[in-house]
Chains A and B, each alone.
Chain A
Amino acid sequence: MLPFRLEKRGVPSAGLIWGVSLAAVAVAMLLTGVLFAFFGVPPIEAFRTIVERTILDARGLSEVVRRAIPLMLAGVGLTLAFRANFWNIGAEGQLLIGATAASGIALFSGLPAGAMLPTMLLAAFLAGAAWGLLPALLKTRLGVNEIITTLMMNYVAIYIVRWLINGPWKGPSLGGFSYTERFAPEAVLPTIGTTRLHWPTLLLAIALALFVAWLLARTRFGFEARMMGESPEAARYAGVNFFKTTLTLILVSAGAAGLAGFGEVAGIHQRLVDPGSLSLGYGYTAIIVALLARKNPVAALVTALLLGWVAASGDVMKISLGLPSQITGVTSGLVLLSIIGSEPFLRYRLVRREPARTPSEAI
């Protein structure tokens, strides 16, 4: 028999969560270091280069935050849905449809400069929300599993974008290439200096996180949503209106992903582009952002930055350290694996068995 056993903890303290999470990141870096050594890159030097290029360099740091913005918006939205046990896997599609709606306004509305960006933002939010509405209706009315429907809606969104940029929205000045025309300057978000950091969207993400945190903690809607997640039976017994609450939360959750799409087209691409280039899988990474943040909307801001940093570090590995492109996927996988693997340490503690006990007492 092993000299140790696992004992269940109560609610983990904030200090414990931070300690375990940081330890997990450290383990991941250790494993990545071993990987570097295998490729003949001295690990210490490699990490120094990564930190110099991503954190100590202003432009590098701007790229970390730039990548974190869509993860923040979509991730914060997902924390709300996940709290209520609504497994929205469709942030990618909601993001794409939000980007599509914003692009449609930018390209064809002809609105004056002052109204352009706010209308694009609103359209992106509503389009994202509408994309989430169908799975929400199917779940609440017919009991259809939302994991399947939200996931499938992603593919529908991908093909809608593909069809638009290959068909009716294809820019005539681009010689047949599949992009729309470039947005007019009034439909483009301002950035900090010459970086690509579209700061209004960053502020929006922070505001959204605070708003969702307030919703969850301080409103009747938030209480009902949490009750639906933690104890659906009790929620039903208490008379929670599942239909209304689900629709409200998907409106915010999917709408937030739509806003991420708005940020990408209005801040980065300045046109509607192929779905593979438009989002780089942000909608899926946002699921990890929300889960790593333990479904806490404000913590999702931090985990989004962490994953933004992992992505930016991958670039440095590829460019400055000359590692093969596949390495970036492997290293981000290692980070996620060790963070997810650290989860049991939050719920259990390792205690030494006391030698004199009989087996029955040990259980």
Chain B
Amino acid sequence: MRRLFIALLFLASLPFASAQDDPLKVAFIYVSPAGDYGFSYAHELARQKVDAHFGDAIETVFVEAVPEPDVEPTIDQLVADGADVILGTSFGYGDGILAAAPRYPDVIFGWGTGYQRAPNVFTYMADLYQPYYLNGMIAAGLSETGQLGYVAAFPISEVKRHINAFTLGAREVNPDATVDVRWLFNWFDPAGTKEATEAMIAEGVDVIAFTEDTPTAIQTAAEYDVPSFSHYASMVEFSPETVASGHLVNWEVIYIDFLQKVLDGTYTSDNLSDVDYFWLLEDDAVELGSEPGVKIADAFVEPLQNTMVDHPELGSISVYDLVMDRHDKMVAGRDVYDPFLGPVVDRNGNEVYEAGYLPTIGDLTSLEWAAPGVVGAWDNEPQ
């Protein structure tokens, strides 16, 4: 009888005990399977790091391969499961997130790469334009023909910004370098990527960069011994010999910062209207590297150290040192160095940013122009 009483007492105390230690439940929604290389995989790696960082304070779950129109019912199910924070990682989730958010005013929503906020919806982005700029310098340093190639997903502002940064970097090393751009009109298109890569190599391109969700460009370029760059996460394992460097994203830096502020009460479900992360090298949200911690793959260090350029500002300098100079300055802050600091002229000769003007984040996220040296079709280009 006494034992039963104790057991009942224990059971009665359970709801209170669990209410106190209830971890913050954080749900991630991915647009493709988490195991695939590319965008969703980078978020999945970040989720695992968030899990490890917060221990028992946070419980994470993820839902993969959610088509854009299905994000709203997915949110309904996640809320029913008790999610406190829901992070929709894809631009196309915006309609669904903004429709569901008013229905669940106590739940916090994040719209990755999005642009519209609400009291319980914040937006976030880890932008890669700075590492792409450094990749462009490396590419021009390695190229013999001066012809670089870029396989691009969609002509949206983000991708245009990255192509421009890559091209400006290439031109800083070789003022005659060109960047041939091929559009896929798709985020995931291994067949199209292979075709575009091979076509450009056949035309004399000897370094390849890309924005597409698979390692296909790296694998195809490797067949011709053409250097390429890791995209989002390390892709070195697909071709250890030819991946020269890359642009890596550390989404966990943003996630940990945000969730810490949720845990300590700074961010709540009614003060997020102005919370917009646009984090860069200086925030450690993105990184130059073929793999984490390796800025330039070993085999490419010496060739870049031996390639000297005559730089208008820094005099005779090796490409390697030039890359590191720019890298360290960008890590110090956008006000120390930014590739888009005016004067910037587009490929049609229009002045885009006047001398001394540092474009705002808003300028960069609505960018439409094409840098001098970019070759190929360019949707919605200012004439």
Asked if A175 and B156 make an inter-chain contact with CB atoms under 8 angstroms apart, the answer reads yes
Interface string of A273-292 (1 = CB under 8 A from B): 10011101000000000000
Q: Quick one: which of A196, A270, A319 contacts B81, CB cutoff 8 A?
A: A319
Does B64 lie at the interface of the complex (its beta carbon under 8 Å from any beta carbon of A)? yes
Q: Quick one: which of B68, B157, B159 contacts A277, CB cutoff 8 A?
A: B68
Interface string of A307-343 (1 = CB under 8 A from B): 0000010011011101011100000000000000000
In the complex, chain A residues whose CB is within 8 Å of the CB of B2: none
Asked if B69 and A53 make an inter-chain contact with CB atoms under 8 angstroms apart, the answer reads no
Q: How far is the CB of B242 from chain A (nearest CB, A)?
A: 31
Q: How far is the CB of A158 from chain B (nearest CB, A)?
A: 12
Asked if B156 and A319 make an inter-chain contact with CB atoms under 8 angstroms apart, the answer reads no
Does A162 lie at the interface of the complex (its beta carbon under 8 Å from any beta carbon of B)? yes
Does B366 lie at the interface of the complex (its beta carbon under 8 Å from any beta carbon of A)? yes
| Bound Cα distance from A120 to B92, whole angstroms | 25
Asked if A280 and B156 make an inter-chain contact with CB atoms under 8 angstroms apart, the answer reads no
| Bound Cα distance from A320 to B81, whole angstroms | 7
Asked if A273 and B69 make an inter-chain contact with CB atoms under 8 angstroms apart, the answer reads yes
In the complex, chain A residues whose CB is within 8 Å of the CB of B185: 162, 166, 178
In the complex, chain B residues whose CB is within 8 Å of the CB of A176: 154-157, 159-160, 368, 379-380
In the complex, chain A residues whose CB is within 8 Å of the CB of B72: 196
Q: Quick one: which of B77, B91, B115 contacts A53, CB cutoff 8 A?
A: B77
Those of B63-82 within 8 Å (CB) of chain A: 63-70, 72-74, 76-78, 80-81
Asked if B64 and A325 make an inter-chain contact with CB atoms under 8 angstroms apart, the answer reads yes
Asked if A324 and B155 make an inter-chain contact with CB atoms under 8 angstroms apart, the answer reads no
| Bound Cα distance from A57 to B80, whole angstroms | 10
Asked if B380 and A315 make an inter-chain contact with CB atoms under 8 angstroms apart, the answer reads no
Does A63 lie at the interface of the complex (its beta carbon under 8 Å from any beta carbon of B)? yes
In the complex, chain B residues whose CB is within 8 Å of the CB of A276: 67
In the complex, chain A residues whose CB is within 8 Å of the CB of B91: 177
Does B103 lie at the interface of the complex (its beta carbon under 8 Å from any beta carbon of A)? yes
Asked if B33 and A277 make an inter-chain contact with CB atoms under 8 angstroms apart, the answer reads no
| Bound Cα distance from A278 to B69, whole angstroms | 8
Q: Quick one: which of B33, B73, B78, B103 contacts A325, CB cutoff 8 A?
A: B33
Does A268 lie at the interface of the complex (its beta carbon under 8 Å from any beta carbon of B)? yes
| Bound Cα distance from A361 to B330, whole angstroms | 92
Known: A175-B157, A177-B156. A277 touches B65 (CB 8 A): no
Those of B350-383 within 8 Å (CB) of chain A: 365-366, 368, 379-380
| Bound Cα distance from A60 to B380, whole angstroms | 42
| Bound Cα distance from A312 to B366, whole angstroms | 38
Residue of B nearest to A279 (CB): B69
Interface string of B142-169 (1 = CB under 8 A from A): 0000000000001111011000000000
In the complex, chain B residues whose CB is within 8 Å of the CB of A60: 76-77
Residue of A nearest to B155 (CB): A176
Asked if A315 and B365 make an inter-chain contact with CB atoms under 8 angstroms apart, the answer reads no
In the complex, chain B residues whose CB is within 8 Å of the CB of A194: 103
Q: How far is the CB of B166 from chain A (nearest CB, A)?
A: 17
Known: A280-B67, A324-B64. A315 touches B74 (CB 8 A): yes
Asked if B365 and A320 make an inter-chain contact with CB atoms under 8 angstroms apart, the answer reads no
Q: Quick one: which of A166, A269, A318, A326 contacts B63, CB cutoff 8 A?
A: A318
Interface string of B72-110 (1 = CB under 8 A from A): 111011101100000000011001000000010000000
Asked if A316 and B33 make an inter-chain contact with CB atoms under 8 angstroms apart, the answer reads no
Q: How far is the CB of B11 from chain A (nearest CB, A)?
A: 20
Does B61 lie at the interface of the complex (its beta carbon under 8 Å from any beta carbon of A)? yes
Does A59 lie at the interface of the complex (its beta carbon under 8 Å from any beta carbon of B)? yes
Residue of A nearest to B365 (CB): A175
In the complex, chain B residues whose CB is within 8 Å of the CB of A196: 72-73
| Bound Cα distance from A326 to B65, whole angstroms | 9
Those of B45-67 within 8 Å (CB) of chain A: 61, 63-67
Residue of B nearest to A270 (CB): B95
Interface string of B118-132 (1 = CB under 8 A from A): 000000000000000
| Bound Cα distance from A63 to B77, whole angstroms | 11
In the complex, chain B residues whose CB is within 8 Å of the CB of A270: 95
In the complex, chain B residues whose CB is within 8 Å of the CB of A326: 33
Those of A196-225 within 8 Å (CB) of chain B: 196
Known: A53-B77, A175-B156. A315 touches B70 (CB 8 A): yes
In the complex, chain A residues whose CB is within 8 Å of the CB of B155: 176
Residue of B nearest to A322 (CB): B61
Q: How far is the CB of B225 from chain A (nearest CB, A)?
A: 34
Q: How far is the CB of B265 from chain A (nearest CB, A)?
A: 28
| Bound Cα distance from A316 to B66, whole angstroms | 12
| Bound Cα distance from A324 to B80, whole angstroms | 19
Residue of A nearest to B91 (CB): A177
Q: How far is the CB of A225 from chain B (nearest CB, A)?
A: 35
Interface string of A16-57 (1 = CB under 8 A from B): 000000000000000000000000000000000000010001
Known: A175-B365, A176-B156, A178-B154. A319 touches B69 (CB 8 A): no
In the complex, chain A residues whose CB is within 8 Å of the CB of B115: 175
In the complex, chain A residues whose CB is within 8 Å of the CB of B63: 318-319
Q: Quick one: which of A57, A59, A177, A322 contacts B154, CB cutoff 8 A?
A: A177
Most buried by A among B66, B95, B365, B368: B95
Residue of A nearest to B156 (CB): A176
In the complex, chain A residues whose CB is within 8 Å of the CB of B160: 176
Q: Quick one: which of B74, B103, B157, B368 contacts A319, CB cutoff 8 A?
A: B74
Known: A175-B157, A176-B160, A177-B91. A63 touches B73 (CB 8 A): yes
Known: A177-B154, A280-B67, A315-B70. A320 touches B92 (CB 8 A): no
Residue of A nearest to B157 (CB): A175
Asked if A315 and B77 make an inter-chain contact with CB atoms under 8 angstroms apart, the answer reads yes
Residue of B nearest to A269 (CB): B69
| Bound Cα distance from A39 to B64, whole angstroms | 17
Q: How far is the CB of B41 from chain A (nearest CB, A)?
A: 14
Residue of A nearest to B32 (CB): A325
Residue of B nearest to A63 (CB): B73
Q: How far is the CB of B296 from chain A (nearest CB, A)?
A: 31
| Bound Cα distance from A59 to B66, whole angstroms | 18
Q: How far is the CB of B42 from chain A (nearest CB, A)?
A: 18
Residue of B nearest to A318 (CB): B63
Interface string of A46-85 (1 = CB under 8 A from B): 0000000100010110010000000000000000000000
Task: Jot down 12 A-B pairs with beta carbons below 8 A, ordered by A.
Answer: A176-B155, A176-B160, A176-B368, A176-B379, A176-B380, A268-B69, A273-B68, A277-B92, A315-B77, A318-B64, A319-B77, A320-B77
Additional pairs, 8, CB under 8 Å, beyond known A175-B157, A176-B160, A177-B92: A63-B76, A177-B154, A177-B156, A178-B185, A194-B103, A277-B69, A280-B70, A318-B64
Q: Which residues of B contact A (CB under 8 A)?
A: 33, 61, 63-70, 72-74, 76-78, 80-81, 91-92, 95, 103, 115, 154-157, 159-160, 185, 365-366, 368, 379-380
The 4 closest A-B pairs by CB, nearest first: A176-B156, A325-B65, A319-B77, A63-B73
